[in-house]
A and B are shown apart, each in its own frame.
Chain A
Amino acid sequence: MIESMQDLQEIRQKKLCSQGECEGEVRVCIGSSCASIGSVELEKELRARVKEKGLETKCRVKGVGCNGLCSEAIMVATYDKVQQKEDIYTNLQANDVEKILAFIEGQSSLKEHFYDTSLPFFAKQIKVVLENAGVIDPNDIDDYIAHRGYEALFDILEHKESREVIEEIKQSALRGRGGGGYPTGLKWESVAKVESDVKYIVCNGDEGDPGAFMDRAVMEADPHKVLEGMIIAGFACGATQGYIYVRAEYPIAVEKLTKAIKQARKYGILGKNIADSGFSFDIDIRLGGGAFVCGEATALVASIEGGRGNPRQKPPHLSDHGLFSEPTVLNNVETLANIAPIMRNGAEWFNSIGIESSTGTKVFALTGHIQNTGLVEVPMGMSLRELVYEIGGGASDNKKIKAIQTGGPSGGCIPDAMLDVSVDYDSLKKIGSIMGSGGLIVMDESSNMVEVARFFMDFCRSESCGKCVPCRVGTTELTDLLDKFIAKKATQSDYTLLRQMCEVVKESSLCGLGQTAPNPVLSTIKYFEKEYLEGIADD
């Protein structure tokens, strides 16, 4: 049991000292990309061999979450405790155990696998949300504590009142990272103000946007950080129960979170009367069933209540009438992962990262026709060009980038010529896309933009819950219309109809899914109209 900050610090010191007996660590990435080519086996085998050779005092082997550069899997990092220096090695194979062993023993270098971290991919990143990803063992709560985990929580429990916490988050100007960009502090405040014995904190880990895996990486690499954010939210808003809504398609995330909750309960960090503060809070996991519409707040709540994920009219908002009709805060995984660092370092520190209207960092999943695919965290306000060309290394296979897509099925396509736009909520919205949850898909010249728009429209068509007519019928009609353009059999009046129907679906749908479904079409019409016109038959 941890009952005070002092207890927490003792665990931290103990962990640091036991680590201190080793000269260093070997951190094997067991994120999804590396794991798919055998990094889990590599880590296990390496650990066994290190033990066998009696090298444990020299080196501790551990599995860590995603390190980001997924295109160069398997990644292994070595950490020299004396020099406090991390080196990264890439493109290792599952059977490279002896090679790494020889390196640990100082008999060889891993020169050919060395990755220079002064290159833009790493050098231009600022890690707040992902500060522990690739560093700590996600299965070990003590390792999280050793890296200053739960420090913010205990500081709050011992020294702060709930309104001070809300004030700090408001000062930090943190905005919802799920894509909406609503100020987190205001959301918390509106729930804190409501008088009710029962309130809920819900973490949205559904990540339904195809092409995005930021939240997955956070949950898998640093589950305790999500828990800490939720507990702090609970304290600030006066809630006693939290739910994490996770996609069933993410079994590893579910496993890590389940383990983390168990460990936190054992330490008394979750449960009744946490650290004798009088504040009680517990967290349970609820599995999603793979429905994109459940990213919509009211649909997600309906799903946790055990029903179909049908959204409902707002207001009433979740802050008054949320889960089980009680006041509810719904935050995204990445938003909650920002909470502990903000409370630990202060709002001013957070404000120093990013730009005034969008503070802090944003995690992006770089995928598609790009050199460096993987996970990156950059300060808000960086230009998309810098993100795609410098960090991402530009297009793969020496081709030219045609467009990038942000915001998934709700977002838009941005042509290469406009990549100087700054990465923040307002700038991206201005040019017809959205920040979205962080999926960033790069497309080269081989991509046909009408087909891309059809892909997203078909996705929305199949994901529409069917409750309201504009979305249910509109997305189907739009998909059929786009098919005509792809078959080059559209008429001029089809083109007029396409644009009109986009407006109708956008303006009259019940929830965010329908309201944003036309965005991929509208943005591609805006920037790649030629490709639509080519789909119109001559006669």
Chain B
Amino acid sequence: MALQTDDRYKMVEKTMKKLGYERSALIETLHTAQESFGYLEIDALKMIAKRLRLPYSKVYGVATFYHFFRLKPKGKHTVVVCTGTACYIKGANEIAQELENKFGIHVGETSSDALVSLLSARCVGSCSLAPVVIYDNHVSGKLSSQEALKKAEEMLV
């Protein structure tokens, strides 16, 4: 593996070093890894396990426990539908449904051409704007299904 020369690994190494290679550094390290790679590669998880002297099963167990961590790469664009209570009350389910139909994928999946990932969030804390969809890190609120679709099209242009 030519991994150790990869800059992205250097970032991960830096976090582990800062936290003294303690086993408790695992989650912080996973955050850094996801930030650098965009998702948690299996090779990265294995490297982290080795460096922190943890069984790989534990690292994998933690990475899959938390919603925030992704084990698959994201598409070029991301659409995140908030499914918190306020958004649910204001029709987030219909919006998710419409977007699923539009992209032909389910929430949590990436289109086969890797163009779009459709994701859901538990709550992004923008409840007063409900229902909320986040297009490529830009929050859009008070959306109708139609507007949500329109914004998705604008994003892809």
A residues whose Cβ falls under 8 Å from a Cβ of B: 32-33, 35-37, 70-71, 207-213, 216, 248-250, 286-292, 303-309, 324, 365-369, 373-375, 405, 408, 439, 441, 443, 447, 452, 455-456, 459, 465
Contacts and interface: CB of A to CB of B under 8 A. Distances in A.
Given A32-B125, A33-B129, A36-B140, A210 B83 contact: yes
Given A287-B31, A307-B62, 18 more contacts: A36-B140, A36-B141, A211-B84, A211-B85, A211-B123, A289-B27, A289-B69, A290-B67, A304-B24, A305-B23, A307-B26, A307-B58, A366-B128, A367-B85, A373-B130, A405-B85, A439-B85, A441-B89
Contacts of B130: 367-368, 373
A111 B127 CA distance: 29
28 contacts: A32-B129, A36-B140, A208-B123, A209-B123, A210-B86, A211-B127, A212-B123, A212-B125, A213-B126, A249-B125, A286-B28, A288-B66, A289-B27, A289-B30, A289-B31, A291-B67, A303-B27, A306-B25, A306-B62, A307-B58, A367-B86, A367-B89, A369-B90, A405-B85, A441-B89, A443-B89, A455-B88, A459-B122
A291 B25 CA distance: 18
B68 interface: yes
Contacts of A408: 85
A75 B125 CA distance: 18
B12 to A, nearest CB: 15
Given A211-B127, A213-B127, A373-B128, A306 B85 contact: no
Interface in B38-82: 58, 61-62, 65-69
Contact of B61 (A288, A289, A308): A308
A308 B67 contact: no
A373 B127 contact: yes
A70 B128 CA distance: 6
Interface in B73-131: 83-86, 88-90, 121-130
A212 B127 contact: yes
Interface of B: 22-28, 30-31, 58, 61-62, 65-69, 83-86, 88-90, 121-130, 138-141
Contacts of A70: 128-129
Contact of B122 (A71, A292, A306): A292
A36 B86 CA distance: 17
A455 B129 contact: no
A33 B128 contact: yes
Contacts of B31: 248, 287, 289
B146 to A, nearest CB: 18
A191 B27 CA distance: 27
Q: Which residue, of A291, A305, A308, has the highest number of chain B Cβ atoms within 10 A?
A: A308
A441 B28 contact: no
Nearest to B121: A249
Contacts of B89: 367-369, 441, 443, 447, 452
B68 A290 contact: yes
Interface of A is mostly: mixed
Nearest to A37: B141
A308 B27 CA distance: 9
A286 B30 CA distance: 12
Nearest to B63: A289
Closest 10 CB pairs of A and B: A289-B66, A210-B84, A70-B128, A211-B85, A210-B123, A367-B86, A306-B26, A373-B128, A213-B125, A290-B67
A460 to B, nearest CB: 12
B68 A71 contact: no
Contact of B86 (A37, A211, A287): A211
A377 to B, nearest CB: 15
Nearest to A250: B125
Nearest to A304: B24
A130 B123 CA distance: 22
B120 to A, nearest CB: 11
Given A32-B139, A210-B84, A286-B28, A365 B127 contact: yes
Given A287-B28, A307-B62, A367 B122 contact: no
Nearest to A369: B89
A292 B121 CA distance: 12
B33 to A, nearest CB: 12
A216 B126 CA distance: 10
Contacts of A211: 84-86, 123, 127
A209 B122 CA distance: 9
A248 B141 CA distance: 21
Given A290-B68, A290-B122, A291-B65, A33 B141 contact: yes
Contacts of A35: 139
Given A211-B84, A249-B124, A249-B125, A308 B68 contact: no
Nearest to B69: A289
Contacts of B138: 36
B122 A210 contact: yes
Nearest to B62: A308
Nearest to B27: A306
Contacts of A33: 126, 128-129, 141
Contacts of A306: 22-28, 62
Contacts of B140: 36
